[in-house]
């Protein structure tokens, strides 16, 4: 993630998993990352949906 002001690589300051708090059928989790450029006091937060790989059902 580049700083939009100075174009330098920003520092990753926080990372967490968030969710949209919806019921199971539309429930989604997000990979939330916060980047910061201290020199410009710029903060960028990205929230990228986590794509879960669906495993094929095993016959019992």
The 21-60 contact track toward Zn ion, x by CB under 5 A, reads: ----------------x--x--------------------
Both structure tokens of 23: 């019921």
Angle at 23 (CA atoms; ends 21, 24), nearest 5 degrees: 115
Nearer to Zn ion, 2 or 14 (CB): 2
Task: Rule CB under 5 A: say whether 13 interacts with Zn ion.
Answer: no
Per DSSP, 9 falls in state: B
Backbone phi, then psi, for 42, in 5-degree steps?
A: -100, 135
Task: Rule CB under 5 A: say whether 9 interacts with Zn ion.
Answer: no
List contacts with Zn ion (CB under 5 A).
3, 5-6, 37, 40
């Amino acid at each position: 993630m580049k700083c939009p002001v100075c174009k330098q690589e920003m520092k990753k300051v926080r990372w967490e998993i968030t969710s949209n708090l919806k019921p199971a059928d539309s429930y989604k989790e997000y990979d939330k990352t916060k980047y910061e450029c201290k020199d410009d006091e710029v903060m960028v937060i990205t929230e990228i949906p986590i794509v879960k790989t669906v495993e094929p059902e095993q016959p019992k």
